[in-house]
């Protein structure tokens, strides 16, 4: 019986923490880091302010932790999508589809990673650099594996350029009033763009 009680207590705490994290993503995306307050976050999560301080000492610590979790989520989604396909065109399309799906259905996640944290939190600089490096590596790997089917090139530089281009289009998509209906076309156009950019010679 004591174990069950402890387990239930832990589940309640986990649920509160999850609700607070989800609310924080939305609040930071809507208001930006500096304008968002701890009271905004707990109000959106429906928890007491003491619950916030139970998990985090301040807003900056929460933001950095949130950034790390969100970055890992996006990286894993794109990595898994790419690894599930065999050819370069399929890999690029699958990776982009995963990225665009998250952008359309969880736009606050993309806002947090690409906009909300930029320059807002000095302690986040290293985390942002690590995230970008990992993202570039994910896109570089299929290029390296398809080296006989693409033009000779520095695949790291190419991947860096592709990542920047993908981000710009996805941010533009999020500003579109009908982002969901434009998602499929965006994936197709970006896939064709990427294949042209790397000089893909396969069929």
Residue 36 and residue 73 in one domain: no
The pLDDT value recorded for residue 57 is 94
Please tell me the pTM assigned to this model.
0.86
Q: Is residue 14 part of a domain?
A: yes
The pLDDT value recorded for residue 72 is 94
The pLDDT value recorded for residue 157 is 97
Closest CA to 102 of 163, 167, 165: 167
Closest CA to 117 of 80, 64, 160, 61: 64
The pLDDT value recorded for residue 201 is 93
Q: Assign residue 58 a region (left: φ > 0; alpha: ψ between -120 and 50; beta: otherwise).
A: beta
Per-residue pLDDT of the chain (203 residues; tens, 9 = 90+): 444 545 665 666 678 888 899 999 999 888 888 889 999 999 999 999 999 999 999 999 999 888 999 999 999 999 999 999 999 999 999 999 999 999 999 998 888 888 766 666 777 888 889 999 999 999 999 999 998 999 999 999 999 999 999 999 999 998 888 888 999 999 999 999 999 999 999 87
Residue 70 and residue 14 in one domain: no
Supply the range of the domain harboring residue 65: 59-198
Looking up tokens 């993908």, which residue turns up? 166
Residue 83 and residue 136 in one domain: yes
Chain CA centroid to CA 102, Å: 7
Domain count along the chain: 2
The pLDDT value recorded for residue 119 is 66
Residue 48 and residue 64 in one domain: no
Residue 49 and residue 85 in one domain: no
Helix 59-83 with 38-45: angle, nearest 10 deg: 60
Residue 23 and residue 110 in one domain: no
């Amino acid at each position: 019986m004591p174990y069950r009680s402890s387990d239930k207590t832990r589940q309640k705490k986990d649920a509160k923490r999850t609700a607070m994290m989800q609310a924080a993503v939305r609040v930071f995306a809507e208001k930006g880091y500096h304008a968002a307050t701890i009271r905004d976050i707990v109000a959106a999560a429906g928890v007491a302010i003491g619950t916030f301080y139970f998990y985090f000492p301040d807003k900056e610590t929460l933001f950095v932790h949130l950034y790390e979790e969100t970055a890992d989520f996006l990286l894993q989604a794109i990595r898994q999508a790419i690894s599930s396909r065999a050819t370069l065109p399929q890999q690029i399309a699958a990776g982009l589809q995963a990225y665009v799906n998250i952008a359309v259905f969880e736009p606050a996640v993309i806002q947090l990673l690409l906009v909300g944290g930029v320059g807002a939190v000095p302690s986040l600089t290293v985390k942002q650099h690590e995230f970008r490096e990992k993202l570039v590596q994910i896109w570089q790997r299929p290029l390296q594996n398809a080296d006989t089917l693409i033009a000779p090139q520095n695949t790291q530089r190419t991947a860096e350029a592709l990542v920047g281009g993908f981000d710009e289009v996805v941010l533009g998509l999020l500003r579109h009033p009908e982002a969901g209906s434009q998602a499929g076309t965006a994936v197709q156009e970006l896939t064709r763009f990427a294949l042209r950019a790397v000089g893909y010679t396969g069929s």
